[in-house]
Every structure is written in structure tokens, then in C-alpha cells.
């Protein structure tokens, strides 16, 4: 009986643990990031002379948060959290071992490293920037492949099947895509870490703010949650360099001219290089979802992909 109670407590803890995402600075839906997005949205509404009470009622409407599409976002959120514990955590746990293995290979092939010893802050900033650039490009490229390879698109289409965008849509991804993303992240972190350990005679650290890397913190505090929302926020000319929330909404658009545009996560330079960049100026999004395809918003039917 005691063992059964302990098992039930563990299951309850796993089930409620996702609620801690709102208290974790490493998660996009951390309450500070959500609050910053709300503040930005209110400033935009004031600037555009919109009816603030009406906009608030619309943003908090049960029709938005309890729409069949929005409910599926939550289903995927909780399922993927449980699967992350089972599938992803063991994978990411091998990151240190992989970095050490790569480092040993470098020693064996190219001899002793430790070519430079620089001030600790310099190496920390350099490591943070290099990891950000490699991580951001890898996210772009894998996202690009999701759209170009039919087998991968079958799973990525789950994310694009959302017809209502809320911050929780970020977690609307098929578990197969989550596993691919985790392997990508593992390889990037292990490779970059191994290179820095090999090249520098320094301890390797990331520059963090409240436990999150400074690049992730700045990205999230600058309205990242508006990407999956109805709030149209463009960055003007800066969209040639940084992906705006409006550009990501274009990526979700059902309009034919918007298909396969703006794959970037943070930087827009990759889209420029691959010819997939679209600026938000003079652009209108009429709806979200899969172009020329109506998808039933049913959670169980999406387990095999679309």
C-alpha cells in the first residue's frame, strides 16, 4: 500500500512538474518572458490607438484558450514533458561523454591542444557567442529539412496544423520531432564544447542571466512569446538580421506566397543565404494552418503524424 502511494505521488509530481515551466528562466513561457510580451503588446496597442479593454478581453477569451486547436497544444505539452523524461533526458545525459570523446579524438589526431589561455571572461563570451551561432544555424537547417523532406514534414506538420497561435503552440510538436531536436542539440553542444576544451587552456563556461544563457534571455525578453500569437510585431529593416514575431507568423501562414518562408529561429541571415527570407512590411497574414489542407484538431489522430 505504501509503495502504491509512493508511485501515485511520483506520477502526480511528473504530471504537475510542467507547471514549473512558468518559474524556470530556461523555458520560453517563464513568467518574466510572458510579462515582457504582454508589456510590449500593450505598448503596441497604445501606439496604434487600439481599444485596450477590447484587446485584453480578446487575449483572455475562453474561445482562444479553449479552442480545439489550443487544447491540443496543451495535450502535446504534457505528453512531451513525460516523454522528455523517458527519451530526451537519457540522450542529453550523454552530452558530456560525447564531448570528452570528441576531445580525445582531437588529441589523438592533432596532438596536444590548449593553444591559448585568455582571460576567463573573454573565453566565456566567445564560447557563448560561438555556441549561439552554431546552435542557431543548426536549428534553422534542421527546420529547413523538416519542410523539404517528406518523412520529416509528416511529423513537423503537427506544429503547423495549429490554426490558433498562443505561446503554448511552441510545445505543439510531435515526439519524433522532439527527439530529432534533442539529438541535434546534443551534437552541437558536444562538438562546440569539445573544440573549446581542446583549443583553450581555460575552464569553459556560458555567460548566463538567471540560469539562462544571455542570448536566450535577450531573445525571450524581447517578445519571443508574441511569435505564437495574434500580435503583429515587425522589426522593420532589422528583419534582415533578426527574425521578428511577425516573420514567424508569416511562416505559419496558409497563404501560398508565405509557404517555406522564414525558417530562422533567431537570426534572419540564414534565410537570406538560403533565399527564404520574407520581410513583414506590407504583408498580411489571413490565417494559420496547413495550406490547402484541413486538419481535424484531434490529439490521438496526430500520433502517427500527418
Give the least confident one: 111-125, 167-181, 274-288. Answer: 111-125
Give the DSSP H or E segment for 213.
strand 212-213
CA–CA distance, 219 with 24 (Å, rounded to integer): 15
- Highest mean pLDDT (candidates 70-84, 98-112, 220-234, 290-304): 220-234
Quick check: 15 pLDDT over 60? no
CB of 172 closer than 8 Å to CB of 299: no
Cell 551534437 belongs to which residue?
187
Tell me the three-class secondary structure of 65-108, residue by residue: HCCHHHHHHHHHHHHHHHHHHHHHHHHHCCHHHHHHHHHHHHHH
Cell numbers 513561457 correspond to what residue? 29
Segment of 8-12, 100-104, 247-251 carrying the highest mean pLDDT: 247-251
pLDDT digits (tens, 9 = 90+) for 114-129: 777 888 899 999 999 9
Nearest CA to 293 out of 247, 243, 254 is that of 254
Q: How confident is the model at residue 88 (pLDDT cuts 50, 70, 90)?
A: low
Question: pLDDT grade, residue 254 (50/70/90)?
Answer: very high
Q: Does residue 7 have a pLDDT over 50? A: no
Mean predicted confidence (pLDDT) in 272-284? 95
The C-alpha angle with vertex 242 and arms to 220 and 158, in degrees rounded to 5, equals: 65
SS3 155: helix
- Tell whether the model's pLDDT for residue 208 goes beyond 80: yes
| 96: confidence class by pLDDT, cuts 50, 70, 90 | confident
pLDDT at 161: 94
Distance CA 243, CA 222 (A): 11
Residues recorded for the chain: 306
Q: Which helix (H) or strand (E) holds 232?
A: none
Long-range contact pairs involving 105-113 (C-beta distance under 8 Å, separation at least 24): 106/194, 106/195, 106/198, 107/198, 113/197, 113/198, 113/199
Look at 146 and 81; give whichever has higher pLDDT: 146
Please tell me the predicted confidence (pLDDT) of residue 5.
Answer: 47
User: What integer best gives the mean pLDDT of the chain?
Assistant: 87
Backbone φ and ψ of 249, nearest 5°: -65, -35
Residue 44: phi and psi, rounded to 5, are -60, -45
Question: Strand ranges (DSSP E) for the chain?
Answer: 208-209, 212-213
- CB count within 10 Å of CB 39 equals 11
Ordered by start, the domain boundaries in the chain are 23-231
What pLDDT score was predicted for residue 16? 57
pLDDT higher for 128 or 54? 128
Helix (H, G, I), strand (E, B) or coil at 202: coil
Nearest CA to 187 out of 302, 55, 91, 107 is that of 91
Residue 19 to residue 12: CA distance in whole angstroms: 12
Q: How far apart are CA 134 and CA 144, in angstroms?
A: 15
Q: Bridge partners of 200?
A: 116
The pLDDT value recorded for residue 218 is 94
* CB half-sphere exposure, 29, CA atoms < 13 A: 15
pTM of the model: 0.89
Amino acid at each position: 500500500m505504501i509503495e502504491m502511494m509512493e508511485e501515485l505521488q511520483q506520477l502526480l509530481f511528473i504530471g504537475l512538474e510542467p507547471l514549473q515551466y512558468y518559474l524556470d528562466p530556461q523555458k520560453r513561457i517563464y513568467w518574466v518572458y510572458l510579462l515582457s510580451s504582454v508589456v510590449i503588446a500593450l505598448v503596441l496597442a497604445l501606439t496604434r490607438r487600439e481599444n485596450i479593454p477590447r484587446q485584453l478581453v480578446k487575449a483572455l477569451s475562453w474561445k482562444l484558450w479553449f479552442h480545439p486547436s489550443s487544447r491540443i497544444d496543451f495535450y502535446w505539452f504534457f505528453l512531451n514533458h513525460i516523454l522528455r523524461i523517458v527519451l530526451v533526458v537519457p540522450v542529453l545525459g550523454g552530452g558530456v561523454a560525447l564531448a570528452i570523446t570528441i576531445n580525445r579524438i582531437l588529441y589523438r589526431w592533432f596532438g596536444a591542444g590548449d593553444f591559448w589561455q585568455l582571460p576567463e571572461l573573454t573565453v566565456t563570451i566567445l564560447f557563448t557567442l560561438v555556441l549561439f551561432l552554431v546552435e542557431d544555424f543548426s536549428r534553422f537547417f534542421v527546420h529547413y529539412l523538416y519542410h523539404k523532406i517528406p518523412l520529416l514534414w509528416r511529423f513537423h506538420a503537427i506544429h503547423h496544423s495549429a490554426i490558433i497561435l498562443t505561446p503554448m503552440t511552441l510545445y505543439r510538436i510531435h515526439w519524433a520531432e522532439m527527439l530529432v531536436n534533442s539529438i541535434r542539440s546534443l551534437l552541437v553542444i558536444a562538438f562546440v564544447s569539445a573544440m573549446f576544451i581542446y583549443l583553450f587552456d581555460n575552464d569553459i563556461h556560458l555567460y548566463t542571466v538567471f540560469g539562462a544563457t544571455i542570448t536566450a534571455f535577450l531573445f525571450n525578453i524581447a517578445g519571443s512569446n508574441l511569435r505564437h500569437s495574434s500580435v503583429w510585431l515587425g522589426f522593420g529593416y532589422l528583419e534582415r538580421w533578426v527574425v521578428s514575431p511577425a516573420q514567424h507568423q508569416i511562416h505559419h501562414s496558409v497563404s501560398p506566397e508565405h509557404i517555406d518562408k522564414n525558417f530562422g529561429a533567431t537570426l534572419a541571415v540564414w534565410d537570406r543565404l538560403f533565399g527564404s527570407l520574407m520581410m513583414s512590411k506590407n504583408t498580411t497574414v489571413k490565417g494559420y494552418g496547413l495550406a490547402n489542407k484541413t486538419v481535424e484538431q484531434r490529439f490521438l489522430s496526430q500520433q502517427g503524424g500527418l
